[in-house]
Amino acid sequence: MNEGILWFDDSKQVDLKHKIERAVAYFQQKYGYPPARCFIHPSMLSDKKIKNNGVEIRTSLYVLPYHFWLEFQNKFIRDN
């Protein structure tokens, strides 16, 4: 996992697809481009890899349930 932002959404009324869409929309609005990938806890998804509007969804045990790690695209990461 590279640099990115962490999004939290534990709302019960919204399904996983819409939670991811909201997180991606926020990321896109804030940075002007979509995230490269979205990592979620394995308990939230049965498939290991799916795409949601061009954003690859992966699972990781490092991400807690109801959290979404939205990763910057490599070309947009600044060197310090």
Return the ∠ at Cα 65 (arms to 27 and 61), rounded to 5°. 95
Q: Are 71 and 3 in contact (CB under 8 A)?
A: yes
Q: Are 24 and 4 in contact (CB under 8 A)?
A: no
Give the start-to-end residue ranges of the domains of the chain: 4-76
DSSP letters spanning 28-78: HHHHSS--SEEEE-GGG-SSSEEEETTEEEEE-TTSPTTEEEEEPPGGGPP
Give the pLDDT means over successive 10-residue stretches in the chain (80 positions): 90 91 95 92 76 83 96 64
pLDDT for 73:
82
pLDDT for 76:
56
pLDDT for 79:
47
